[in-house]
Structures are given as structure tokens and as C-alpha cells.
Chains A and B, each alone.
Chain A
């Protein structure tokens, strides 16, 4: 069991005290019972969202793998040779 120190505004504390006395539950127990269900619902929604995101990433990675390559065109030009090639293209465009 973990201890979570929380600060409550005075009016909320008074409300909690009233309910605690009426229900015969300690304040801590009342809070535990109150947050249990919504917390689990929220957790499920968060986990589902995370799972969806992970699945999407996995699908996208498969796509990147599938789309890569597909052409065997020899080693081709290195980046610097490619630049020279573009320069040549520009020169050819000149009158």
C-alpha cells in the first residue's frame, strides 16, 4: 500500500468529514471506494489509447519497410555527384 499526501480545500474536507461520519467509513476509505471505479475506467481508456497508438506506429513501420526499395538501379551517384548533376541540369537550361 502506498501513501499519497493530498491537500484538500477546507470546504471539501468538511464535506468529506460529514459524509465519513454519516456512512461510518474513514475518510481515506471513502476516497478509496469513490475513486476505484472511475480510476479503472480511465485506466482502461488510457491503455486502449496507448495500444491504438502503438498499433498505428507498427502499421506505419511495416508500410515504410514495404515501400522501401523496389528498384535495382545500381549503386548510382553519391550526394556530391548528384549535386554536380543538378548544376549541369541548370547549365543546360541556360540559353
Chain B
């Protein structure tokens, strides 16, 4: 069983069918299933998804009374993805310090370094994202980027 960590941008584009990246993410998740990958997310991903998706709903003049209903619906649908697993960051205090080392080594933002720390802690080798900030991580083969084309 291979695990692939999904960035929040993947989930947002998967749920918003107007996005120019929608069809690409749908194909990506389809290929993950075909190739026996287990999609994996963390509370950090969920938090980012809620933040961005809420903004999308508000910017599209969704009634304030239905914003939270829509958010719940979207999140429930993501949680229904086959074999989806939620992983947590490491607990130890020593591990938290590694975040700073990862920021320095790979020129990452704190949030991205925390994603990487979580993936490393769970020995996840594959990462699906549109984020260009992980270039150094991919280049040093700490993680392998996954997209619809690499899986096709």
C-alpha cells in the first residue's frame, strides 16, 4: 500500500468544478485509486481547505446562513474518498524543532515545513500538490511529486 499526501489545493480544485484545475485533480485522484495509492491528509490540510473554501463561498456571494452547511457538505464528501486516511504530525517536542531545520534546508514557509515534517514522520514518499515551493524537496528526492501525467 502506497500513501500519497494531498495538498489542500488539490482538494479545493477537486470540489470546485469551475476551477481550471478541476479536471486535472479529478484525473489525478482517479489515477491514485487505479494505481493503489491511499490518499492521505492531515489536520493542517483540513484547516487550509476550510479556510480557502470558506473564502471561495463568501466571494461567490453564498448566503451567510449556508456557508457552514456548504463547508460541512464539501468536507464530508472529501472524507468519503476511498481509502482516505488522516495522519497527525509527530507529538514529541524534539520533532517540532525539525520544522525549523526543514524551513532552512528547503526554503519552505512554516506551514509547508510542517506538512513535510508530517509526511517524513509517517514515511510518506509521494506528494500531490500544485505548490511550486516544494521544488527543492522534489529535487533532492525527499518526496516524489505525483500528478495525473506521472501516473498515466
A residues within 8 Å of B by Cβ? 57, 60-61, 63-65, 67-80, 82-83, 85-87, 89-90
Please classify the interface of chain A as helix (H, G, I), strand (E, B), loop, or mixed, using the class held by over half of its residues: helix
What A residues does B83 contact at CB under 8 A? 60
What A residues does B59 contact at CB under 8 A? 73-74
CA of A64 to CA of B21 in the docked complex: distance in angstroms?
16
B residues within 8 Å of A by Cβ? 8-9, 12-20, 22, 25-26, 29-30, 33-34, 48, 51-52, 55-57, 59-60, 70, 73-74, 77-78, 80-83, 109-111, 129-133
User: Do A71 and B15 contact each other (CB < 8 Å), given the known contacts A60-B33, A65-B26, A83-B109?
Assistant: yes
Candidates B14, B18, B26, B132; contact of A72 at CB < 8 Å: B18
Q: Is the Cβ of B19 less than 8 Å from the Cβ of A76?
A: yes
Chain A, Cβ-Cβ closest to B57: A73
Chain A, Cβ-Cβ closest to B8: A82
User: Do A68 and B14 contact each other (CB < 8 Å), given the known contacts A73-B56, A79-B131?
Assistant: yes
